[in-house]
Chain A
């Protein structure tokens, strides 16, 4: 390549590259904090007086405890916590839970409000345990947002968005621009750069099914799916086109019959009430199966005890 070709190639580079995630929430949270105003010093003095009177009633950051290595003891909105190969940290998520930041991870506190506890994972791995009402704890990633529905989970991701979400308690909704994956306890979903979440599967799903889900090989998925894999088929209903949806529904209904009130026509039309009712039914069966593992045998078709 000569110099002219190099300069032509440089000239063709895009002037604009969209950030992999919406950075506005982190910006919005910081606006105004440093802006000069005439009453700035008055306000500062008043705040200092109030701070002396009201100690520890309100925090503008989350406490960080370093399990290995060292770093800042508090993370505030807009700040990052970064671990190297040998450090780990525990972030106290207000009063609702905690996030363990594993080695080689970079994470930012984006918002800290009563109804919006929000982190952004640039890359690495975290383990979150949250005990609160659904939809107030969020973790943004390069390919979507993990929305807590009352749960514990592990989230691993590279900086492009290739990763894995493994839910160990409760349920997480992983939302991208185009899809939402519901991941209940005992299930996993892979994420792919540029494509968002894949189709969730249960922890003990056979390798053949995982591969077929990853390549969206619908015929293969239907051939190898078991009753335990109903969560995958339920998600597949939304991912396939109308021509394939009937076959997916029929296979799902043969493995885990739908609850009363859910019709084939409604499911094929992607009626949200019908799909939600079906999901609740499937979720309940999976919950019983996971929670009673080793205690009782549960029929994966019905969720009832096997006699």
Chain B
């Protein structure tokens, strides 16, 4: 189904691309939300990802699954924007209110493992930017340190150090 939609979208069919968006928006948004720690920025990046995907569709040759290709593109779009923003501002942007990371569907109080997930989402959002990116990419998305280094422009050793730092900070926050 996805393959057929991709083939049609590559031929310029926007309706097929819209269907792809509806199939995959949740996965892209979740990734952008966790990488940016900000709901507004995540919406913006999700839109950027799909616009970029449309522009680059012809370069997708089916060597990997389309979802993997889109995922990798999403990470690149978010990382490019973070780097551009950093260069533009040359200062650390305060992390948005972590409560804005959890979506409306999580507004009600949750208990048990669901409650832990919400706490974890909030704790991830409150991590320093570098540590958050590595934790999301390594522990949630399953990329290797080498891949993270390639995507974010940091050394493998730095990625490992950031992961250690992120896990340490998260355990501290969740134990409080």
Interfacial residues, chain A to chain B (CB-CB below 8 A): 1-3, 6-7, 9-21, 23-24, 26-28, 30-32, 34-36, 78, 80, 106, 108, 120, 122-123, 142-143, 158-161, 192-194
Quick one: which of B1-51 are within 8 Å of A by CB? 14, 17-18, 21-22, 25-27, 29-30, 33, 39-40, 42-44, 46-47, 50-51
Interfacial residues, chain B to chain A (CB-CB below 8 A): 14, 17-18, 21-22, 25-27, 29-30, 33, 39-40, 42-44, 46-47, 50-51, 54-55, 97, 99-100, 103-105, 107-108, 113, 116-117, 120-121, 135, 139-140, 167, 170-171, 174-175
Known: A35-B55, A122-B40, A194-B108. 12 other contacts (CB 8 A): A7-B139, A13-B117, A16-B29, A17-B26, A17-B29, A19-B29, A19-B43, A20-B103, A27-B51, A123-B100, A160-B100, A160-B107
Whether A159 pairs with B174 at a CB distance below 8 angstroms is no
Whether B51 pairs with A30 at a CB distance below 8 angstroms is yes
- Contacts A10-B140, A13-B140 given: A108-B44 contact, CB under 8 Å? yes
Provide the main secondary structure of the chain B interface.
Answer: helix
Contacts of B55 in A (CB 8 A): 34-36
Q: Which of B18, B27, B135 contacts A24 (CB 8 A)?
A: B18
- Contacts A13-B140, A18-B25, A161-B104 given: A32-B54 contact, CB under 8 Å? yes
Bound together, the chains give a CA A158 to CA B103 distance in angstroms of: 12
Whether B50 pairs with A27 at a CB distance below 8 angstroms is yes
Whether A13 pairs with B44 at a CB distance below 8 angstroms is no
Whether A10 pairs with B174 at a CB distance below 8 angstroms is no
Q: Which of A1, A17, A193 contacts B171 (CB 8 A)?
A: A1
Provide the main secondary structure of the chain A interface.
Answer: loop
Those 7 A-B pairs whose CB atoms lie nearest each other, nearest first: A16-B26, A193-B107, A17-B30, A122-B40, A194-B104, A193-B104, A159-B100
Contacts of B27 in A (CB 8 A): 15-16
Whether A24 pairs with B21 at a CB distance below 8 angstroms is yes
How near does chain B come to A292, taking the closest CB pair, in angstroms?
Answer: 40
Whether B25 pairs with A6 at a CB distance below 8 angstroms is no
How near does chain A come to B58, taking the closest CB pair, in angstroms?
Answer: 9
Bound together, the chains give a CA A7 to CA B47 distance in angstroms of: 30
How near does chain A come to B148, taking the closest CB pair, in angstroms?
Answer: 15
Sample (9) of A-B pairs whose CB atoms are under 8 Å apart: A1-B171, A1-B174, A6-B170, A9-B113, A10-B135, A24-B18, A24-B21, A26-B47, A31-B14
Bound together, the chains give a CA A106 to CA B29 distance in angstroms of: 18
How near does chain A come to B33, taking the closest CB pair, in angstroms?
Answer: 6
Contacts of B17 in A (CB 8 A): 31
Contacts of A15 in B (CB 8 A): 27, 30
Contacts of A35 in B (CB 8 A): 54-55
Contacts of A20 in B (CB 8 A): 39, 43, 103-104
How near does chain B come to A91, taking the closest CB pair, in angstroms?
Answer: 17
Whether B174 pairs with A23 at a CB distance below 8 angstroms is no
Bound together, the chains give a CA A194 to CA B104 distance in angstroms of: 5
- Contacts A15-B30, A122-B39 given: A23-B104 contact, CB under 8 Å? no
Contacts of A24 in B (CB 8 A): 18, 21-22, 25
- Contacts A27-B51, A31-B14, A122-B39 given: A13-B25 contact, CB under 8 Å? no
How near does chain A come to B30, taking the closest CB pair, in angstroms?
Answer: 4
Contacts of A23 in B (CB 8 A): 21, 25, 29, 43, 46-47, 50
Contacts of B29 in A (CB 8 A): 16-19, 23
Whether B30 pairs with A16 at a CB distance below 8 angstroms is yes
Contacts of A18 in B (CB 8 A): 25-26, 29, 103, 105
